[in-house]
Amino acid sequence: MGFGFGYLVHLFCSLLVLQHLEMAEANGEKVEREVYDMKLGRAFKDNHLRVHASRDENSGKNLHDHSLSHVNHLDPELNVFFHVNELKVGKKMHIYFPVKDPSTSPPLLSKEESDSIPFSLEKLHYILQLFSFPEGSKQAKAMENTLQHCEFPPLEGETKFCAASLESMLDSVRSIFGFKAKFKVLTTNHLTKSITLLQNYTILEAPEEILAHKIVACHTLPYPYAVFYCHSQESDNKLFKVSLVGEDGGRLEAAAICHMDTSHWDPEHVSFHVLKTRPGASPVCHFFPADNLIWIPVV
């Protein structure tokens, strides 16, 4: 589940292919593609880049949102949280693992391209005009939520940033780990094709703890191009690789993290509602979807 520089090169090259398809459309070559739009309620296309709407306008934030006020507690995507004592062989867990088609994901821009486009709430009106999204549309609301999330102040002991290019992500991760540090990336891997997104999974083997003195987790956010919200917390976190099989036979090697100290978290954090606990009462664990990246230093 760990990948080095070769994986990043493969990822980057794949995304460059997607950019080529977008450029072909701009030059008049017809490229027909369905846009993966599960949470915004409809598929849509425009003349520029596409918003990958993985969350609706009321839940445009991610697992680490501070409040329940904008989260639908019936959302199946919340079936990712669990208690640390559930990490044992044979345990059945009801989990949501989205399966996303890379060909419909938003393109990853180069640093030069992303730096040329404003990325702030103050410039939202201009950004919507740039990508031809109407004010008040669901896409506009998703983009607004992403910008808000990126501009939220960090939690106590947290380092956070939003990255819109591979170069900026690597630069920021390097600044956290140290400029001479070597590091690798972990992800959740779907070993076989799974059709059912929300189902019971069984832990096949004893979960493997991956020792790392620092962890930077990067989560995708809905935007016309790829944007990652990344953060690292100075707290006792434990990272695991978990082998799972679903009821439909789908196999995964899933990345999971357990936040052992939640005493400083917002009492309205969605995980406390899901796990029926409170700040500091017990660790909070969750699985990562396959499009999230977890960076750890190589020792």
> Quick one: pLDDT at residue 281?
95
Q: 19 vs 251, which has greater pLDDT? A: 251
Contacts of residue 178, defined as CB under 8 A and 6 or more positions apart, other chains included, come to 297
Least confident segment among 29-43, 62-76, 242-256? 29-43
pLDDT tens for each residue of 276-293: 999 999 999 999 999 999
Least confident segment among 20-29, 128-137, 258-267? 20-29
Whether 155 and 262 have beta carbons less than 8 Å apart is answered as no
Give residue 25's pLDDT band: very low, low, confident or very high (50, 70, 90).
very low
DSSP 14-73: HHHHHHHHHHHHHTT---------TTTSS----SS-----SS-TT--S-TT-S-STT--T
Does the pLDDT at position 119 exceed 80? yes
Whether 257 and 294 have beta carbons less than 8 Å apart is answered as yes
